[in-house]
Amino acid sequence: MPNTILIGAQWGDEGKGKIIDVLTERADWVVRAQGGNNAGHTVEIGEERFVLHLVPSGILHEGKRCVIGNGVVLDPVALVEEINGVRERGFEVEGRLFISDRAHVVFPYHRMLDAQGEARKAKGDQIGTTQRGIGPTYSDKAARFGLRMCDLVDPGFPDLLRARVEEKNRVLAAMGAPVADYAEVLASTQEAMTVLGPLVCDTVPLLHAAVQAGEEILFEGAQGIMLDIDFGTYPYVTSSNAGSGGASTGSGVPPNRMHRVVGVLKAYTTRVGEGPFPTELHDAAGEELRKVGREFGATTGRPRRCGWFDAVVARHAVMTCGVDEWALTKLDVLDGFDRIKICTAYELDGKRIEHFPANVREVARCTPVYEELPGWKTPTRGARSLADLPEAARRYLARLEEVTGAPAGILSLGPRREDTLFPEARA
Ligand code: GDP
Ligand code: IMO
Ligand code: MG
């Protein structure tokens, strides 16, 4: 049974939640291995719409088991809220959701430091974070000052927390910022732990046993490769490895137990937050993509920046994540366009380049090299096979596969489960 890593192949919000929901049908386990509640994964089932931030999207399938792995940074209060929401809508988590005792914890002072960090940066240097405390929590993890879920269930937790709050308050006070209230942080965390405590365990042997038993594991990536701390548009990135490598380090399932990588790729490009974005549109076409694609953040509600498809980005995902196949989403959003552009390379200081530069100042100087394809001006939603698609849509798809070097194994034409094609049988 293949273990599948699903990653975002652009700047996040590619439709990972929807594709995970479709693939969960065949899986036994769904595992989150990085990121935190900066993620917002939307799943539409019939008339119902769910937005999941920390709980793996697999929770919406009865009987499937879900893991929040060691690589995730977890805000206990936010997680309890989310669990309550999921429960209210009829999905049980007891015996189905397992939280790694090695996962690092996001505390209110991390969120305060996140906000301060952004506010204190010069205009233009801001990252545009989700202000969920993600960066400061991963910083503490790397600085070996973080607290993990295993510390929260330890009798010595109050003292461990006190030392952290005192230290962080010194930093906040030096910034002239409001400080955290130790008693309040302790109380809210302990209250959250009455719900989370029973779900915390060592998830390593759990997943090892699943692998041994040949059960199928689906890794639900968060963010996207261009937000990856190593391969993204640093420093305009998140603080974890959002690429396929993060699935192993963030779960304890080793690389040689992984079998397949699915890259989720939007048929155009979006980005939320700051940082360079070579194919960004500031014209009517960009507006149209935002409107038709309903491109507003699932976590912060911010309007997403929109642009044409960028094959340089997609090839970067293929190289760094080993994408075997694409799940190509939101092709339906292009239904109304007369002409559609694909960026196949960049021009940088008069030279054509095929690969994504490391230096963001160079990225900002890149201009896209476009080719233009005719639109299809026909609704694609409702198509049940490739043969049902207009000729021009099939040509666009084929060209994306050519310029990115990977095939589309899944094609998504709408937010719901049923709006999904598996084009293996090419028409
Ligand atoms: P994620 O973070 O990658 O899970 O993506 P988000 O949930 O943040 O954003 C994707 C949005 O597009 C959600 O509102 C989905 O319901 C929606 N969506 C997913 N796939 C499709 C599709 O193929 N067509 C359309 N029109 N919407 C889609
Ligand atoms: P999903 O999983 C889109 C962006 C933020 C900001 C940068 C750093 O839904 O695709 P952070 O709060 O992580 O320190 O912010 O990363 N960002 C996302 N953008 N989708 C996401 O998740 C994101 N998670 C973080 O907007 O630019
Ligand atoms: Mg999202």
Tokens (6 digits) for 241 = 């490895």
Mean pLDDT to the nearest integer, 232-239: 98
Average pLDDT of span 266-292: 98
- Distance of CA 322 to CAs 217, 240, 374, 407, Å? 18, 18, 30, 12
- Determine the Cα–Cα distance for residues 67 and 23; give it in Å rounded to an integer: 16
Mean pLDDT for the stretch of residues 271-291: 97
* Cβ–ligand 1 contact at 274 (below 6 Å): no
Tokens of 360: 């963001």
**Which ligand 1 atom lies nearest to the CA of residue 420?**
23
CA 223 to ligand 3 center in whole angstroms:
7
Average pLDDT value for residue range 142-160: 98
Rounded-to-integer distance, Cα 11 and Cα 243, Å: 11
* Inter-residue contact 334 to 291 (CB < 8 Å): no
Percentage of the residues of the chain whose pLDDT score is greater than 90: 97
- For ligand 2, whether the C-beta of 12 sits within 6 Å is yes
Q: What is the mean pLDDT of residues 369-395?
A: 97
State residue 229's pLDDT score: 98
Among all bound ligands, the one having the nearest atom to the CA of 232 is: 2
**So what's the pLDDT on residue 426?**
53
According to the model, what pLDDT value does residue 117 have? 97
Q: Which amino acid is at 341?
A: K
* Residue among 238, 240, 265, 274 to mutate when testing ligand 2 (max atoms within 8 A of CB): 238
Residue with the nearest Cα to atom 11 of ligand 1?
A: 15
Is the CB–ligand 1 distance for residue 14 below 6 Å? yes
pLDDT score, position 324: 98
**Contact between residue 363 and residue 276 where contact means Cβ atoms under 8 Å apart:** yes
Distance from residue 15's CA to the centre of ligand 1 (Å): 4
228 close to 236: Cβ distance less than 8 angstroms = no
Average pLDDT value for residue range 149-174: 98
Q: What is the pLDDT of residues 53-81, one digit of tens each?
A: 999 999 999 999 999 999 999 999 999 99
What pLDDT, on a 0 to 100 scale, did the predictor assign at position 362? 98
Q: CB–CB of 110/165 below 8 Å?
A: no
* Burial (CB count within 10 angstroms: exposed 0-12, middle 13-18, buried 19+), residue 39: buried
Q: What would the mean pLDDT of 409-425 be, rounded to a whole number?
A: 91
Is the predicted pLDDT of residue 250 greater than 90, yes or no?
yes
Q: Is the pLDDT of residue 425 over 60?
A: no
pLDDT at 427 > cutoff 50: no
Cα 209 from chain centroid (whole Å) = 27
Q: Which residue has the higher pLDDT, 298 or 175?
A: 175
- Which CA distances in Å does 259 have to 154, 224, 316, 404? 37, 20, 20, 21
Q: Report cis status (omega within 30 of 0) of the bond before 235.
A: yes
User: Could you tell me if the CB of 44 is within 6 A of ligand 1?
Assistant: yes
pLDDT confidence band for 124 (50 / 70 / 90): confident
Contacts of 315 (CB under 8 A, 6+ apart): 354, 355, 356, 403, 404, 405
Q: Does ligand 2 have an atom closer than 6 angstroms to the CB of 127?
A: yes
For the record, the structure tokens of 146 come out as 């973080």
Q: Is ligand 2 within 6 A of the CB of residue 270? A: no
Per-residue pLDDT, 347: 98
pLDDT for res 298: 83
Question: Residue 384 contacts by C-beta under 8 Å, 6 or more apart in sequence?
Answer: 421
What's the pLDDT at 1?
Answer: 57
List the catalytic residues: 13, 41
Only one residue has tokens 């929901």, namely 21
Contacts of 368 (CB under 8 A, 6+ apart): 278, 279, 308, 310, 341, 343, 345, 346, 347
Residue pair 39/2 in contact by the 8 Å Cβ criterion? no
Q: DSSP per residue over 174-231, as a string?
A: HTT-----HHHHHHHHHHHHHHHGGGEE-HHHHHHHHHHTT--EEEE--S-GGG-TTT
Q: How far is the CA of 138 from the centre of ligand 1 (A)?
A: 27
pLDDT over 80 at 45, yes or no: yes
Please report which ligand is nearest the Cα atom of 134.
Answer: 2
Ligand 1 mutation pick, 38, 294, 329, 410, max ligand atoms within 8 A of CB: 329
Q: How many angstroms does the Cα of residue 311 sit away from the middle of ligand 3?
A: 21
Q: For ligand 2, is residue 70 a contact (CB within 6 Å)? A: no
